[in-house]
Amino acid sequence: MLLQAVFLLLLHCLASTLGHYELCKSLVSTDEGPVWEQYACQPKTASMKDHMRIKVDPPGITCGNPPERFCTLENPYLCSDECDASNPDLAHPPQLMQDKERTGLLTYWQTVTWRSHPEPLLANISMSWNKSLELSDDILVTFEYGRPTIMVLDKSMDHGRSWHPYQYYADDCMDAFNMQPKLVADLSPANITRVICTEQYSRWVGSKNDKNVKFEVRARFSVFAGPRLQNMDSLYTRMESMKGLRDFFTFTNLRMRLLRPALGGTYVQRDNLLKYFYAISNIEVPARCKCNLHSSQCLLLDGNLQCQCEHNTTGQDCQRCKKSFKAKSWKAGSYLPTPNGHPQLLHTSWFPLRFQ
């Protein structure tokens, strides 16, 4: 009995030191002995770029086949750089958007130059995970040699069968998309899931001054949780009460549609098209596995992310009951009541503990 008491105390101390929804269950003492009490739980945030599969189209949009010279907007007539897919030192394949640059050398994917002008220079970058994920921080895309003047970020929740715009980007939103430009700061709690067009990341400021394009997640969270995200209980309460909010941050696939490259703050100069192209050195997607609040761990198994389901649930997203519990109705867990939530199971959530 002394060992049981010590074990219960240790588990209680562990539960009190964990953050929101990191624990799926805890031992509690009752008149009938120690039992497991079940909580809503979710995995920690991870860098999902390590697990994403990247596809670039149309075919032939990646530079290097055949080899091609290019120059930069800062040095438009010094066109001595070359992209050559057959030379590892001069190749710029898609996988360089997600590699770790440990050597200090900058690596990046690059397209062909705008040699077919006036036809548009279009490129799609699709990212898939074969798993439902939930954004937990800003998506950050780093462009070399200038950010696109027009692009769209799309998302899919059904593994690429259908797509929906997440955000529009343009140096002139009215001209590109017939939309008034907005910032996330312009949004209110009532319309925080609104799809906007922003000019914040598309205007020319020099390719070395600001390379990043963001999809701002943290700023949306802060509308409910405060600028330093100190009131997370308010955010999680809104996740339960506001229709569509949880789904807004949920995705299985992302896609960037690059519609017009950086122009250097001028119109297209047709006498030198070798300076117009897209180049991406890094894509960061901070997210967690969506486990419907039924798991605190998500592991890579046989090449795919898989929730380690609790609460008698199963499936890649813990989206159904185990076979022996099929007579019961499955529900996603609830963030309420904070800070531990509720597993929302209709079958019993108390399981007697047996000590050997």
pLDDT digits (tens, 9 = 90+) for 68-124: 999 999 887 888 899 999 999 999 999 999 988 766 688 999 999 999 999 999 999
In this predicted structure, what is the pLDDT of residue 17? 34
Count of Cβ atoms closer than 10 Å to residue 62 Cβ: 19
Count of Cβ atoms closer than 10 Å to residue 240 Cβ: 14
Residues of the chain short of pLDDT 70, as ranges, are 1-19, 102-104, 326-328, 345-356
In this predicted structure, what is the pLDDT of residue 328? 62
Residue 116: half-sphere exposure toward Cβ, Cα within 13 Å: 9
In this predicted structure, what is the pLDDT of residue 103? 64
In this predicted structure, what is the pLDDT of residue 278? 98
Supply the pTM of this predicted model. Answer: 0.88
In this predicted structure, what is the pLDDT of residue 259? 98
In this predicted structure, what is the pLDDT of residue 224? 93
Give the Å distances, CA to CA, from 139 to 103, 157, 160: 24, 17, 19
**CA–CA separation, 31 and 33 (whole Å):** 5
